[in-house]
Structure 1
């Protein structure tokens, strides 16, 4: 399994990721899915608790293009970028085809409901429920506990959770114990993208690893996340990838001298 600065990433395509979920459900086995980007890598590096959660996660795919490029740079490439939003669409389509139930939990007020409507428009047969939950710092514990009870009561096969990252992964880990046959996806703010409140950047912007700049044009309040917190870890990531690449270079073996024939 490839790793970036110690963080594991699974070497899978989108189709393979979806197949892993559907095959697991057919066997009565659930799991957890995390889609790391640069900011998640930063949190992973700074938290032993998060590192432990990652080691117990069933599927980790590279959401951020800088991670994909760095994996290529260090010669441990993955087939493609897999965003949480793309997974939400693809897994929901597969769920509709196989009769599995889906729950969208979390998000800003109204986001989960409108995202569910968008998913139904593409897959009218999709069985999808929602539980909106926009957590407030002063009431987070109670709100997450109430949401978790609703998730357990839903008995959904697949749950997409849109909460702040640390809250999201710890909640998923706890729910995994309560619902071992359910797949849990941490999708952050993906509901906004599914329901059209926020646009994805053009593909060329993503390929150039400039999605952060695109996002700052519409969400300047994120300047600290990208410019203060993000830039240092991005620089360290590139240096780490180059160092790993150098360490993986084969050491040339000098050719043995040809024996001198006598006579």
Structure 2
């Protein structure tokens, strides 16, 4: 079966159940891997940064987080079964981990964010083995923060690591740690801990289907206007044009 692409970015056409089964089966067989959840911002960085693109293409599982990407795939007649957000994947994998006894580590976020999220997950999934490590990167402290985080993850040897860091940092960190922890799965989840903790909320489903989640987020984080209107709009326009071109070719 042909792997779908979005402006040359590869995408895995899997369901949530399929993704969780693939990861769980791999862990049970002693194999690790990496997961990314692309949206418009990640697509922009994929296209603009060769180093990130190279690492991204070595990723084992790429599931579509952003609804505009889901719509674009439908438009170009290479649909994926469903949208899989980082938040939904965090909940689903934690449930599977609790059921079979895998350990998880929540890494990233401001002080307290990861621990609060772990508490929510433990309350939901009895027996979940979850550790945490806060890591909020800033230019002046990034190197030392990441060094401490690497040491914590390597010492813990978890089955799954949820990395709540900016895309550039999480991709590089995952790629670096794979050699040290070949049996561990690394899942990039961005700012998901805030959603698990209720610090931010997801929009209603009808807004998501209309690809207006960005507008909802701006009501909660108006400082992100540049990401959407300056950085994101050109990529969104290019995505639409590419999807229409692919649709015409397939027709």
Instruction: Please name the residue that 1:155 is paired with.
Output: 157
Distance in structure 2 (CA, Å) of the matches to 1:108 and 1:131: 10
- TM-score normalised by L of structure 1: 0.94
User: Could you tell me which residue of structure 1 aligns to residue 138 of structure 2?
Assistant: 136
Deviation at 1:97, TM superposition (A): 0.3
Shift of 1:54: 1.4
Secondary structure of 1:200 counterpart: coil
Give the gaps of 5 or more residues in structure 2: none
Q: Distance between the aligned counterparts of 1:108 and 1:231, measured in 2?
A: 29
State the SS of the aligned residue for 2:198.
coil
Deviation at 1:142, TM superposition (A): 1.3
Separation in 1 of the partners of 2:187 and 2:164? 9
Aligned to 1:210: 212
Give yes or no for the alignment of 1:90 onto 2:89.
no
Query: 1: CA distance between counterparts of 2:130 and 2:237?
Result: 41
Query: Aligned partners of 2:216 and 2:151: how far apart in 1?
Result: 37
Question: What's the counterpart of residue 79 of structure 1?
Answer: 81
Q: Alignment partner for residue 25 of structure 2, among 23, 26, 37?
A: 23
d(CA) in 2 for partners of 1:109 and 1:6? 37
Distance in 2, matches of 1:121 and 1:202, equals: 25
1:258 counterpart residue number: none
Equivalent residue runs for 1:105-116 within 5 Å: 105-116=107-118
Find 1:67's aligned residue among 59, 64, 69.
69
Deviations 1:204-258 (A, max 9, x none): 0100000000000110000000011111110110000000111111xxxxxxxxx
- Deviation for aligned residue 1:136: 1.6
Q: Distance in 2 between matches of 1:50 and 1:57?
A: 11
* Structure with greater Cα Rg: 1
TM-score by length of 2: 0.98
Q: Among residues 33, 36, 49, which one is paired with 2:35 in the alignment?
A: 33
CA distance in structure 2 between the aligned counterparts of 1:122 and 1:195, rounded to whole angstroms: 13
Residue 187 of structure 1 is matched in structure 2 by 189
- Classify the secondary structure of the residue corresponding to 1:177: coil
Displacement over 4 Å in runs of 4+: none
Q: Which runs of 5+ in 1 are unaligned?
A: 250-263
Q: Offset at 1:182?
A: 0.3
